[in-house]
Structure 1
Amino acid sequence: MAVLNPDSLDTRTLSTSGSPRAAAGRARGAKGGRRIGSHVLLIILSIYFVIPIWWLFVAATKSTGSLFASPAFWFDDPAAFFTNVAGLFEHQGGIYWRWLGNSFLYAFAGGIGATVIAVLAGYGFAKYGFRGRGVMFGMILGSVMVPLTALVIPTFMLLSQYGLINTPWAVILPSLLNPFGVYLMRVYTQDAVPDELLEAARIDGAGEWRTFTTIVVPLLRPAIVTVLLLSIVGTWNNFFLPLAVLTGPELLPVTVGLNRWLTLSNAGAGGEQVWNLITTGAFISVVPLLLSFLLLQRYWQGGLAIGSVK
């Protein structure tokens, strides 16, 4: 039986392979590999989401002929963008800008109203006990699973009974209901607003409304901004509901209005070719949403920082 001689071992091998420094180096290498992989994945996803916006920006700087003749992802004549914007002012009496104003009205009226309702309902479900709370909240969760397109026809029939078809209320009123916003506000309120803080405010003599406005609302700021943005974007991008409940061209949002131009352009020789106006109008309609996310991003960051301090 062979006897292992300790003197025959390489002491340098033992000192480097089993030292804490070597283990830390291997851990840093593994962590660095995972970090590189996550960065590569994020870059791929960023490119995936930026490509459509880049194409829309490039297409807005082309004439109708250049859209089909020049490279898809590069400019042909950047000065054509201003020509296209001027065409939006002139085409059909500049009705595009009326459509854009309608989109602002529907999105902000519906988004702000939906956010107010979601905040109040979420706070009530989270901090008040009442009979039937579980059943009602279960119904709200169930409504999240129902696609919005399935509710268009019942909504149309309900609104027609009250004579609201082809009015701005036909778009604003259904937009006030945001079940996912209520769910999000309840979950966030449960963690962000301690019950002890509310009890201390009540002991100090603050009423329920003062407690809500001065203590609860500042703590809910990140969730409020999130629900507001989701509600505004959802109403801005809504297509099927305005298509069903609005008939007058002067009341259409920009999504349905551009679709009408698209239908005419697809008609071939019988329709007017306004592809350059469609792409330019689509790009202009995306800019307010991008600016909203960029300007309100700091509220999310501030809310995360506040929530991390215990």
Structure 2
Amino acid sequence: MDNHSIKKITVVGTGVIGNGWIGRFLANGYDVVATDPAENAEARMRAAIDKAWPAIEKHGIAPGASKDRLTFEPDLATAVADADLIQENAPEREGIKRSLLAEIDSFAKPEAIIASSTSGLMPSTLQADCARPERVIVAHPFNPVYLVPLVELVGGKATSPEVVKVAEQFYHSINMKPLVISTEIEGHVADRLMEAIWREALHLVNDGVATTEEIDAAIIYGPGLRWALMGPFLTLHLAGGEQGMRHMLAQFGPALKLPWTKLVAPELTEELSESVINGCEQQTEGHSISELEQRRDDFLVELQELLEKYWPGANLNGKI
């Protein structure tokens, strides 16, 4: 099997991530079948695609790409029967995902690839109940999937290396940046990094050090600007001057022993929850979620254009 044998795609689960995948696949000229047992799922799905389509078109679509190439099929068995790739997006609960993936595995044709969008569960766990675990892989995207290019690919103990290779080629072909993670770990890579910042941010709010708005500003106007181009390692490499990371570690390495961070999450008390919720609501007062999503999407389109301009040919092999 190779990347070119992936013609028919089925998306299972049409929440935020599932609909994001639908937008990404449609934008790249694929026919997509979607399925979801929830009431009014089709109407919500089509409304979400309509809403995202202007940003998708601005970002760029393939010849022949159309919203009309989307079909909703309520029956799971029928929906996955002819698919070459099945993208699963069920709620992030192990029991639900394992059961659903086993069902998909029993209905799908033998050569189909089954990809889970799980943000934290390991593929070996997810594929445990499947008759053909070798074709099950984690393909974890980031919201909004139709614009953000990163997808983390993780194979389980039983996943075929060939499936990983084909998946990498396929996701690359739909203008994504596939990051193949060789070692299974809960939360994969990007979510573990985001979780560390999220936990520390909760402590800062809980301890009365900063508000949600101040914490967001600290990232937006500081490290966030640099991370969009370089990430944490190259940012600190440049902080070391001409000697780069060698000098940075010699100069600031001892500070790693200082108790600057807590990392273990604070207890999510009602008081902390209200502080975070009220802070976010005050930050966004007068702006609807829909308006904020549109602003985010327009920003991401232009930001990626800047990234291509200032980091031409950037890839995931660490080479500039």
TM-score normalised over the length of structure 2: 0.25
Structure with the larger helix share: 1
**Which one scores higher on RCO, CA 8 angstroms, separation ≥ 6?**
1
Considering only CA atoms, is the larger Rg found in Structure 1 or Structure 2?
1
- Relative to its length, the structure with more strand (as a share) is 2
TM-score (norm 1): 0.26
